[in-house]
A and B are shown apart, each in its own frame.
Chain A
């Protein structure tokens, strides 16, 4: 997977490149709009991460030009100003998602993976499996090592998300938004409590702990030795 980052702030650009590389992507980094547009038109990137405030051409112009040249690769834009007009403008111009600075890297990574997954409409299986944990989407049942685990509706939703994105660190804000449709931060550590309770049901009594906390980033579900 190739990602093009167009970002003029050197530090931001560098850490984005490093982070995405370490997450297994091939990354090109460009520091201005003119070069960025050129790279995007010439290259075969699967995703463009685009800063709005850029020297040369600004993010909007780059995006408009790209779409004008029939390049339909997904674009995620970064903006420092959380203005409704900005969001609306970006999405109208054909961007796929946006993030407001400052954002957490875990959030960015999760969004990038969501966007890249969107294109592939693989055959959806009705069961999800990680190690000895099984989740049946149709019957809405969870088994671990053949033992039935009773979950509430939201716990089921949370586990489903963690299993679908197994191996990915999911930030709290993404979990709140995907499972509960809460697109803001709560004063209370709701996600922490919810994950802790889910973990009690899923992991307690089993030697292998599947749900892990990545401090400062979020939660991940995976087999421990896979990491």
Chain B
């Protein structure tokens, strides 16, 4: 059913009123019908009784005159009662026109019939009689009694009127009650709506009342609360992130500004200008890199840059990276060791970048003269790549936040320009996640181990290259 734009309260009220009205109406009809039936039954008993009485009088009467006298006496004492007596098709007692409007069926004995007589509503009953005393010949005797039903009709009429008034009043009252009940029943929704309007970006900690609402709304309320929880978390992350970003940008920007303004504050020789410009260029490079790393992260995390899958020999990739980091490792007298080999499907450039960041991290934190080890293995379609270095362990408290953007375990240390912006591990994690893998860190007793777990052939079945 298509409802016009009615409020839920209005709909419930209309429904409630409609139901109440039809129930009451049905009840009224039933009562008045039953009452009418009851009156018919009462009349039948009354008429039956009177018929027997008349029969008795007729039987006991000594002659026509005596009969008339006794019957007159009877009718006088019973208001609204009428009678006729017929013998052999001849009327011997009663008003002649009493049965003028009576239907033909009124002759049938033991059957109630109704008709009008002189403005009255009559109900009548016929009966046959045994032969009169003293006569031997067979005679057809018929007795007729009728009663005026005016007072019954009057009573029924009054009762129906009262019923109708009651029905209208009760319907109205139940409508009002229905409206009140609907309003009351829906008031938790209203309260929730009100609560919802108070939720803004600055006021995300508002929650729907769960305990105080009816059970039917409790689930909705707790679902909404779950939604708010997730939103608040994401929003908080976004806020932290923009805060971090602003902070990370502020340092190089303020360096640039100060340096440039100091340089401009007086005349200098060309070498000094060159020095300032070169230093600025370095800062700019850092900024540009941070922006492009942020962009890479954003795209990877949001799945815009879907991995272009190809078969990758991890062994070869790690060897290429060993070549790349050879000089840095040599400087710290670090040995690079590789064990194992496995193939996997993934985006070569992204995977290379992810492993590169882990190696860069390992080399940075490894003690001089130790070994940085990469071990590759595969079991049951899972590829495991571990990067292990010996060096000061990562504080357990830092581990959960290690993969967050801009997170540096060592906040106090001023990071040299060559070092990244603290996005390396975040990028690694984003790449691994976009490949359906996961990354874990174990750090204890001077050994730190990053473990990547990949599904080997995530893309081999039903590969759909982005269009």
Does A185 have its Cβ within 8 Å of any Cβ on chain B?
Answer: yes
Q: Are B363 and A188 in contact (CB under 8 A)?
A: yes
Contacts of B279 in A (CB 8 A): 215-216
How many residues of B are in contact with the other chain, CB < 8 A? 43
Whether B310 is near chain A, meaning CB under 8 Å from some CB there, is no
CB-defined contacts of A84 to chain B, threshold 8 Å: 305, 466
Q: Which of A159-218 contact B (CB under 8 A)?
A: 176, 180-190, 192-194, 197, 214-217
Of the A-B pairs whose beta carbons lie under 8 Å apart in the complex, a sample of 17, sorted by A's number, is A82-B292, A82-B295, A100-B292, A153-B323, A176-B324, A180-B324, A182-B320, A182-B356, A184-B349, A184-B352, A186-B324, A188-B363, A188-B364, A190-B325, A190-B328, A215-B275, A216-B285
Q: CA separation between A153 and B323, bound complex, in Å?
A: 9
| B interface residues (Cβ-Cβ under 8 A, vs A) | 274-275, 277-282, 284-285, 288-289, 291-293, 295-296, 299, 305, 320-321, 323-328, 330-331, 349, 352-353, 356-357, 360-361, 363-364, 418-420, 424, 466
Closest residue of chain B to A197 (Cβ to Cβ) is: B327
Contact B330 A197 (CB under 8 A): yes
Beyond the given pairs A197-B327, A216-B279, 16 more chain A to chain B contacts, judged by CB atoms under 8 angstroms and listed by A's residue number, are A84-B305, A103-B288, A182-B321, A184-B349, A184-B356, A186-B357, A187-B364, A187-B420, A192-B418, A193-B328, A197-B330, A197-B331, A214-B278, A215-B274, A215-B275, A217-B278
CB neighbours of A176 from chain B (8 A): 324
Query: Which residues from A are CB-within-8-Å of B274?
Result: 215
Are A180 and B323 in contact, with the CB atoms below 8 A?
yes
Residue A152, interface by CB 8 Å: yes
Q: Is the CB of A190 within 8 A of B324?
A: yes
A186 B292 Cβ-Cβ under 8 A: no
In the assembled complex, A102 has its CB within 8 A of some CB on chain B? yes
Instruction: Let me know if B291 and A102 touch, CB within 8 A.
Output: yes
On chain B, the residues within 8 Å of A190 by CB distance are 324-325, 327-328
Q: Is A141 an interface residue (CB 8 A)?
A: no
Report if A18 contacts B (CB, 8 A).
no
Give bound CA distance, A125 to B291, whole Å: 42
- Whether B326 contacts A152 by the Cβ 8 Å rule is yes
Nearest Cβ distance between residue A123 and chain B, in whole angstroms? 31
Instruction: Tell me if B349 and A183 are in contact (CB < 8 A).
Output: yes
Whether A187 and B288, one on each chain, are in contact in the complex, defined by CB atoms closer than 8 angstroms, is no
B325 contacts A188, C-beta separation under 8 Å:
yes
Minimum CB–CB distance from A212 to chain B (whole Å) comes to 13
- Nearest B residue to A180, CB-CB: B324
Contacts A84-B305, A190-B328, A197-B330 hold; do A184 and B353 have CB atoms under 8 A apart? Answer: yes
B345 CB, min distance to chain A CBs, angstroms? 18
Give the Cβ gap from A205 to chain B, nearest Cβ, in Å.
Answer: 20
Contact yes or no, A215 B281, CB < 8 A: yes
Determine if B360 and A187 form an interchain contact, defined as CB atoms under 8 angstroms apart: yes
Q: For the complex, would chain B's binding face be called helix, strand, loop or mixed by DSSP majority?
A: helix
A114 at the interface (CB under 8 A from B): no
Q: Which 4 A-B pairs have the closest CB atoms?
A: A216-B281, A215-B278, A187-B420, A189-B418
Name the B residues within 8 Å of A113 (CB-CB): none
Tell me which residues across on chain A come within 8 A of B349, comparing CB atoms.
Answer: 183-184
Nearest residue (CB) in B for A192 is B418
**Complex alpha-carbon distance, A15 and B262, angstroms:** 23
Most chain A CB atoms below 10 A, which of B282, B299, B328, B352:
B328
Whole-angstrom distance between the Cβ of B438 and the nearest chain A Cβ:
22
Residues of A within 8 A of B324 (CB): 176, 180, 182, 186, 190
Measured between beta carbons, the chain B residues less than 8 angstroms from A194 are 326-328
Set A153, A154, A186, A189: member contacting B356, Cβ < 8 A: A186
With a CB–CB cut-off of 8 A, which chain B residues contact A215? 274-275, 278-279, 281-282
The answer to whether B418 and A188 have CB atoms under 8 Å apart is yes
- Are A186 and B285 CB-contacts (below 8 A) given A84-B305, A215-B279? no
Q: How far is the CA of A102 from the CA of B357 in the complex (A)?
A: 22
Answer yes or no: A104 CB below 8 A from chain B CBs.
yes
Question: Which residues of chain B have C-beta atoms less than 8 A from A184's C-beta?
Answer: 349, 352-353, 356
Q: Are A104's CB and B288's CB within 8 A?
A: yes
Contact, CB under 8 Å: B320 / A188: no
With CB as the reference atom, state the residue of chain B lying closest to A194.
B327
* Chain A residues closer than 8 Å to B420, beta-carbon distance: 187
Within 8 Å by CB of A154, from B277, B280, B326, lies B326
Instruction: Output the least CB separation between B146 and chain A (Å).
Output: 104
Distance of A82 Cα from B328 Cα, bound (Å): 30
Residues of A near B330 (CB, < 8 A) are: 197
Residue of A nearest to B350 (CB): A184
Assembled-state Cα–Cα distance A71/B3 (Å):
68
Nearest CB to that of B280 among chain A residues? Answer: A216
| Residues of the B chain whose Cβ atoms lie less than 8 Å from the Cβ of A192 | 418
Q: Given A215-B282, A216-B277, verify A186-B289 contact (CB < 8 Å).
A: no
> What residues on A are CB-neighbors of B327 within 8 Å?
154, 190, 193-194, 197
> Contacts A82-B292, A82-B295: A187 and B278 contacting too (C-beta < 8 A)?
no
Nearest chain A CB to B426 CB, angstrom units: 11
B12 to chain A, nearest CB (A): 54
Q: Do A185 and B289 touch (CB < 8 A)?
A: yes
B65 CB, nearest partner CB in chain A, Å: 127
Instruction: Report how far A39 CA is from B323 CA in the complex, Å.
Output: 46
Q: Is the CB of B282 within 8 A of A187?
A: no
Is A180 touching B320 in the complex (CB atoms < 8 A)?
A: yes
Alpha-carbon distance A104/B283, docked complex (angstroms)? 12
Question: Which residues of the partner chain A approach B281 to less than 8 Å between Cβ atoms?
Answer: 104, 215-217
Q: Are B352 and A187 in contact (CB under 8 A)?
A: no
A193→B281 CA distance, assembly (Å): 19
CB pair B285 A187 closer than 8 Å: no
Determine the residue in chain B with the shortest Cβ distance to A81.
B295
> Across the interface, do A188 and B360 meet the contact criterion of CB distance under 8 Å?
yes
B278 A188 Cβ-Cβ under 8 A: no
A180, B321: Cα distance in complex, Å: 8
Residue of B nearest to A215 (CB): B278
Contact A187 B325, CB 8 Å, known A104-B288, A215-B279, A216-B279:
no
